[in-house]
Structure formats: structure tokens, C-alpha cells
Structure 1
Amino acid sequence: MPIATVNPANGETLRTYEAMGEEETERRLQLAEATFRTYRTTTVEERARLLHRAADLLDEDRRSIAEVMTTEMGKPVGQARAEAAKCAKAMRWYADHAADLLADEEPDPSDVKDSGASRVLVRYRPLGPVLAVMPWNFPLWQVVRFAAPALMAGNVGLLKHASNVPQTALYLEDLFHRAGFPEGCFQTLLIGSAAVDDILRDERVRAATLTGSEPAGRAVAATAGEMIKKTVLELGGSDPFVVMPSADLDRAAEVAVTARVQNTGQSCIAAKRFIVHTDVYDAFAERFTRGMRALTTGDPMDEDTDVGPLASEQGRKDLVELVDDAVRSGARVLCGGELPDGPGWYYPPTVLAGITRDMRVHREEAFGPVATLYRAADLDEAVLIANDSPFGLSSNVWTRDEAEVGRFVRDLEAGGVFVNGMTASHPALPFGGVKRSGYGRELSGHGIREFCNITTVWHGA
């Protein structure tokens, strides 16, 4: 895949980049290693000052970088500005909280009195250069939620971004440089996917984080396992959105539309499978379908656009195949489902009902504005359908019954359970999944400690 900016609204290639060769990649690896030796000794206060400066610069650049993101991957421009603002917020959160999150911990003396120590500390120390393999769908946020905690912990970052967002990738390196971070603290590697394996095998790279597809996750995990290197993986998701009879149906349907089509449906944590109790199924389906049908699909630079183009031609082909397979197997199309004429990689908001286990869309992630509706006879069946997925990233449940909430929290196989609201990531909350959605956690204190050497310091009597 070429490293290029291709506008998904019309398919026009706007800018192409040469991949970095071995010599330039080696120079950057050397620089990362050398920078880490000194950067690791800086104080948390100094790192926080630099990260606050990066947040201020990002706020100043919000409109211009939003247009770059929209041009490169088709995100509606209003959502792109919101993404930039969210990144600045996360930077400030880590700048303000890292000192407490990384503070030395001292166990209760009574708990370690038989260890022979006069004093014991647990200290969080940085690991070194961390390779980040990042996707195109949230081209700023996915990177910042790694970079902010990693830099605050004293690590340095090497970014291998998706090949269709090179301008955003280069902007991020420039942003941290302008903020005053030492040269080599955060570098963008304009390389193809085939080069990742060699870099991950390099002894100077101490760990890796990847957000992306299952195949990419398996490849990185396999190499990291062979090299015995720490990894965090955030992979696909097919999140359930469960609606029970006591739910506020109007509000649930309204939020369901947003939850399905945020970022044109190209989000791992977007709700994708809508599981509705039979007593309210028809009423919810009518409200939800009406809301999906009312969305405006069009130019992502238009402020009134709700749904833009998919990011790539191949992505649209994959989505069409899933829908066509479901229809051939008996699914009913309640709205959408037809490939539009004209330029660009657009696909209409689509609702499919009558989903069965033999349809591909039941097991595979629909990465676009396609929702699947399920009817559940009771709570037990709702849980069974929700867990009948290889993924386990997050989940949404709508009920006013506290006993039902307790069951869902206990039994849903997911990294998050959002009650009467849609899944969202926040810097203070741990984020990640189970099963084929990956392992490890980003954000919060859990995220900043993922790439730390958790060191026991034992003092003899």
C-alpha cells in the first residue's frame, strides 16, 4: 500500500511520500535510543510543562489539523475538530495527574515485616523506546492516548501510522518538536507494514502497542512474544447495545444512532449489534430505523454532514460483501443497503434485521454505518447473543432495573459496560478489551503503567 493522502470523498490522490529507507530508519532508531538515556532522567514536572505546551499548540491548530484528517480519511470535519480537542484534553489530564500516578508506593510495614526489609518501595521506571503501530480511523486520538502517558512516564515513542494518513503522522512529530520535547522523543516512521517486524525485533525497541486489525495484532504479538517484549493490543470490536423493556426507548434509539454512525461507523467501540427485548423490539426498531434514515450523508467538509465516505475503496468493498452475504442468507434491509452512484467511497446508513448465526456479519466486524438488529426473548437470551462474538471490547445496556444492571455487569464479556449511555473513551478511564479484541489497557493509571518497569526496591535492616 503506498504512503499517500487519497481523498476518500472523490478518490483523488493528493500527495504521495517515499517510504523511509533502512539508513534513515536506523538513524531514527539510534536517535531514539540516545534521547531516551537523557530524557528518562527529566522530572515529571518538566515533562508536564512540555505536554501542556503541546496541548496549547494543538488547540491553536485545531481547525487546520481537522481539515487534514478529513481530507485523508473522510471524517466529518466537525468530528475531526472534536477529536483534536479531546487529544488536547488528554494531554492536560496526563500532565496534571502523572506525578500521582507514577508516585512511589510504600507497602504497609506490617505486610512486609517478614521479608527482612527495613523499607520497601515500588517504583515506576520507563522502559525505553516504544513502537506504536496505529490506525487511520482516529488518526490523532489513537496516537495521543499512547503518546501522552508514554512521554510522561519517561519513554520515547516511534510511530508507524497507517499509510493513508501520512500528513497527520508527520504533524504529530512536528507538534511534539514545537512543544519543546527533545529531538528523538517522538518520531514518525514513514514505512510500510512489511518493515514493522524488523523494527520490533531490534533490541533498542523495548515494547510495542498496536491498535488495528486482528491479523496485524497477531503478527505483532507473535514477533513480540518471540522477542519477549511487552505489548498492548486494541483490536476489533462488535459491541452489543442491549435494550430492555424498562429503558427510555426514545433516548435509547437516539443514542443508538450516534453510537452506530460515529466516525461514519468506522470505530472499534461503535455499537454494532442491537439486541432488543421482544416486548419493545418493534417500537425500538421503528425509532432506530427512522433515525438512521434521517441522517445526512455527504461531503465531510460540510458542517451539516452526519456520515462521510468510508476511508478506503477496499473498506467499502468489505462492507458491501458483508451486507450482500446477510441479504442472501435471509436478512431484511430496513433502510439503506444500496451502493450509491457517483465518486467517493460512500455507503448509506443501513439497518439489517433477521440476523442469524450463519451470516458473516454475525461473527465479523462491520466497519461502516451498518447496524444489525436482534430480538431477545429475555435477559438470558440477550446475554447469550451479546457474548456470541469473538470480540469483547465494550458494551452498552439500557435498563432502569438495577437487578438487570447487576447481571449485565457480571456476565457480559467485554472490557467495559456502559449503562444507559454509549461507549466512549476518557483519559481517566481504563480502555481495552478481552477475547479477540486484545489485551492490556490504555488510558488512566493502568495505561501509563503498561510501559513502566514496575520495580521493587528493598532496603535491608
Structure 2
Amino acid sequence: MRPSVTYTAADASFSINPATGEEIARHAYLRGDAIDHLLQASQSGFVVWSAMPIAQRLGVLQSMATVLRSRLEPMAQTVTQEMGKPIVQARAEVEKCASLCDWYAQNGEAMLADEPTSIGTNAYVSYLPLGSVLGVMPWNFPYWQVMRSAVGVLLSGNAYVLKHAPNVMLCAHLLADAWRVAGLPDGAFTLLHADNEGISRAIADRRIAGVMVTGSVRAGSAIAAQAGGALKKSVLEMGGSDPLIVLADADIERAADAAITGRFQNTGQVCIAAKRILLHASIADEFLDRFVTKTKALVMGDPTRDETYLGPMARFDLRDAMAEQVRQSQAEGAKTLLAGGIVEGRGNFYAPTILADVTRSMTCFREEVFGPVASLISVRDASEALALANDSEFGLCASLWTEDRTAAKQFARQLQAGGLFLNSIPVSDPRVPIGGVKHSGYGRELSHFGVREFTNAQTVWFDRT
């Protein structure tokens, strides 16, 4: 059943349960003076928050971890209801956010400590906050994407203004309330629910010091252009078409299991998903047999049930657009190993689809396919795999399966991507930075790189002679 409303209207956005097509809630956009009041509140929150000693800020992060765990079940159920994430995966997302806060609370102080220089004790670098940072965030991980962006910004003493995706505003409000209960000062974390005009107004405002965007290339480039015009820094993560490469000496069973998770987790709606699977010709048939069999065994259905692995796609328009990408690829010669497609009836379901004999000219190779569709490509050797992996406008992450660590290191140095994961699927983890190159964006989130992105690296030099 399709929703009776679109996802945005002139004055409000809508939360739609994608499993049923029913409207859950609607959320009015802020305009004019309301945006000004919010930005002033954020500025006031920044003044209070940035003045707090680092130990006090770390304490709020630790408190946030406790609050998230105490609210895990209702927060997970809201994700499942609002964007269709299977409930087990929704619970894991909330827990991952709590673990993120734990890790930064334990390790954050060192990331912001004054840093000595080669000059000696007379010179050092301090990392100082800039102000309020606007985060424009997506719907696919309604909590995690926000938290991996916001925690580093907040830890460094900045305030955070969240412009969340219009279809997950219930999740946005739950996060804001959790920060309030955790002890974050009023205004240090605020919600800007605005249309494009309102976002532009905020970016141009002197009270916004920088912008973070996770989303489409179109959205990221437009917002970055506005931020650049206002001489403000931006950090962009604009998705990818990540390759998963399986070479001849790989553990095929492990690689196939990983490819299932890497492609179909969160119903395939993951920026770092294994969207292009490159297989050495000598092991391609064996891998395909296992991959197809395992895909057929995945349980699709009611996302509130623990046994469900594939839920509905979050948005009806994106499901239809993906179905068209599949149709184009099939017309271009892609072989269909598993014919899934749109599931007729109630909800926004798309059964997993596997395309083989994919070539670099096909739509499913050239474009990001954001959903439960796998594209399989046969390669002669590692050199061809590298060339095809790099033959993309994107460069977020990649997964390489081989037992030759020396060759893997050489492969990594030639790979045009922000990350390479050897014998595992890509993950976002606070211990390492995440980000991309080319049309996947620039800048980094997580680890000390993310914490320092929106800081003033201030040189202090005494008695220079």
C-alpha cells in the first residue's frame, strides 16, 4: 500500500511506516524568526558548553551512553516503525551509539590535549572549538549517522545543529531528548527541521561555523557550494559504490558470508555496502553458488519480528528508482541470477536481486544502487579488479579478500578509496577515521581526525627568537 501523502509538502514533512504505508506523524518546518531563535539558542549553548572543562564534557558523553542503553528498546522500535529497519539491527544501532560514547569518554581527552611541536617547550598547538556546526544527516541510520557526526563535534566544545532527514524526525526528537537527559546544556544540541530555503538561511548565518553532510552527491555538492560561498568549512560523505573483491586464494565461505552481510544489512541501504562484487574467474562459480543460496535463505517481512533480516525499504520513491536501475541493467545485458523485485501488496518491500555478468558500462556498475541488489563482475586477476574498483565516480571504502597481506598492502596504496578492509566488510568504528575521495566526499569522521575537523589548530609560541 502506497502512502497517501508525499514525503514533503509545503509546510511539513511526514513520517511514514514503510511496512504499512501509513502515516505516523507530521512535522512542521521552522521558518523565519523561528530559525533565528534556534540559531541564537545554539550560540548560547555553545558559549556554555565550550567553557566547560574537558573532564565535564567527557562526563556528559558517559552519561549519554547510559541514557541510550536505558532507552534502547523504545528507540529501536521507533527506528523500525519510522524507516523499516529490522528490530534486531535497530537494537544494535542504539547499542553502537552507546559504545561510541563510551569510547570517546575514555579516549577523548588525549585527542584535544595541547600538542608539542619540534621547536620544543616554547611552542605548542591547541585545538579550540569554532562554534555551532550544522549536521545534515540521512535516514538510513537515524541514530548512528548523527552520533558519529555529532559526538566528535561536541567533544571538541562545539555546539551541534541537527537537520535530520524529513522521514525520521521522531528519531531526531528522541536523540535530542536523550542529550538533554544526559546533561548537555540547553542549545548545545538543537533540531533544525527546515526546507531547502531554511537550510540555506542557516548556512549563511554567522552563527553557523561549519557544515557536515551525509547524503547524495546532489545534496552534498549544493550545500558545500553554499558553505564555501560563506567561507565555512564543510565535511561531506556522499555515499559510494563500494567494491568487494574476492581473489583466487580467498576463503570462499567466509567471503560469501561477509558479502551477504555487506550487501543486504539494513535492507541494502548502507553507504559502505558491497554494491559491486568482483570475483576472480577461477572461484566465481563456487562463490556464486554459495552467495545465491545464502541470499535465498534470508527472511524478509515484518521488521518488528526478531527473525526478519530484510525489512521494507525506507522510502517508496527510492524503491521505484532502484527498480528502474535494475530494469535498465537487465536491458543492457546483465544476467539475472535471482529475480527479486517489487513485492506487490502492503508495504514498501523489494525482494533481493542478484545480477551477474555485469560490465563497466551498465547502470548497476556506474551508479550507486541503494537497496537489496547485488551486482557481480568476473575478473581475470588482481590488476583487473583494481582497475574496475577504481573505475567509479565514488571512492568511499572497499573490501579485499586474499591471504596475501603483502599484495594487499600494495593493492591498498593504488586503491582510490577512503578505506580498505582486508578479509572483512567495511565498518564505521570510532577507533579509525571514515570518509571518502572523489564524489564520495572529503574530510573525515570518527577517531581524532573527526574530533579535530571543526577546531582551530591554534599555534602558541613563546619567546620566539
TM-score by length of structure 1 reads 0.97
SS in 2 for 1:15: strand
Look up the equivalent residue of 1:233 and give its one-letter code. L
Verify the 8 A CA contact 2:243 2:278 in the aligned structure 1.
Answer: yes
Partner of 1:63: 73
For 2:45 and 2:72, the matched residues in 1 are separated by: 29
1:131-181 CA-partner distances (Å, limit 9, x unpaired):
000000000001111111111111001000000001111111111111111
State the shift of 1:87 in Å.
Answer: 0.3
Partner of 1:84: 94
| 1:144 is the counterpart of 2:147 | yes
Look up the equivalent residue of 1:420 and give its one-letter code. N
More divergent stretch after superposition (201-210 vs 89-98):
89-98
State the shift of 1:329 in Å.
Answer: 1.1
Look up the equivalent residue of 1:257 and give its one-letter code. I
Verify the 8 A CA contact 1:329 1:359 in the aligned structure 2.
Answer: yes
State the shift of 1:440 in Å.
Answer: 0.3
2:199 counterpart (196, 200, 207):
196
Verify the 8 A CA contact 1:102 1:124 in the aligned structure 2.
Answer: yes
1:129 counterpart (123, 129, 132):
132
Partner of 1:368: 371
| 1:306 is the counterpart of 2:309 | yes
State the shift of 1:409 in Å.
Answer: 1.1
Partner of 1:260: 263
1:283 counterpart (266, 277, 286):
286
Partner of 1:397: 400
Partner of 2:54: 44
SS in 1 for 2:115: coil
SS in 1 for 2:107: helix
Partner of 1:113: none
State the shift of 1:292 in Å.
Answer: 1.1
State the shift of 1:370 in Å.
Answer: 0.3
For 1:24 and 1:107, the matched residues in 2 are separated by: 45
For 1:59 and 1:195, the matched residues in 2 are separated by: 34
Matches within 5 A, 1:226-245: 226-245=229-248
Look up the equivalent residue of 2:374 and give its one-letter code. A
State the shift of 1:355 in Å.
Answer: 1.2
For 2:91 and 2:195, the matched residues in 1 are separated by: 28
Partner of 1:115: none
Verify the 8 A CA contact 2:136 2:164 in the aligned structure 1.
Answer: yes
State the shift of 1:73 in Å.
Answer: 0.5
1:155-213 CA-partner distances (Å, limit 9, x unpaired):
00100000000111111111111111110010011222332111101011000100000
Matches within 5 A, 1:293-332: 293-332=296-335
1:91-148 CA-partner distances (Å, limit 9, x unpaired):
11111111100000111336xxxxxxx7111000000000000000000001111111
Verify the 8 A CA contact 1:293 1:336 in the aligned structure 2.
Answer: no
State the shift of 1:221 in Å.
Answer: 0.8
Verify the 8 A CA contact 1:340 1:347 in the aligned structure 2.
Answer: yes
1:95 counterpart (102, 105, 112):
105
Matches within 5 A, 1:421-436: 421-436=424-439
For 1:199 and 1:213, the matched residues in 2 are separated by: 20
1:204-256 CA-partner distances (Å, limit 9, x unpaired):
10001000000000111101111110110001111100001111101110111
State the shift of 1:381 in Å.
Answer: 0.6
For 2:177 and 2:263, the matched residues in 1 are separated by: 33
SS in 1 for 2:117: coil
1:337-387 CA-partner distances (Å, limit 9, x unpaired):
332211111111111011123321111101001000000011111111111
| 1:106 is the counterpart of 2:116 | yes
For 2:290 and 2:62, the matched residues in 1 are separated by: 44
1:50-95 CA-partner distances (Å, limit 9, x unpaired):
1111110100100100000111111001100000000001111111
Partner of 2:4: none
Look up the equivalent residue of 2:231 and give its one-letter code. I
Partner of 2:3: none
For 1:363 and 1:194, the matched residues in 2 are separated by: 31
1:261-305 CA-partner distances (Å, limit 9, x unpaired):
011000000111000001111111111111111111101111100
State the shift of 1:411 in Å.
Answer: 1.4
SS in 2 for 1:121: strand
Look up the equivalent residue of 1:376 and give its one-letter code. V
Aligned residues: 454
For 2:214 and 2:267, the matched residues in 1 are separated by: 18
Where structure 2 has 5 or more consecutive residues not aligned to the other structure, the ranges are 1-7
State the shift of 1:406 in Å.
Answer: 2.4
Verify the 8 A CA contact 2:398 2:426 in the aligned structure 1.
Answer: yes
Partner of 2:35: 25
Look up the equivalent residue of 1:246 and give its one-letter code. D
Verify the 8 A CA contact 1:394 1:415 in the aligned structure 2.
Answer: yes
More divergent stretch after superposition (17-26 vs 77-86):
17-26
Verify the 8 A CA contact 1:3 1:192 in the aligned structure 2.
Answer: no
For 2:221 and 2:33, the matched residues in 1 are separated by: 28
Look up the equivalent residue of 2:272 and give its one-letter code. I
TM-score by length of structure 2 reads 0.96
Look up the equivalent residue of 1:43 and give its one-letter code. P
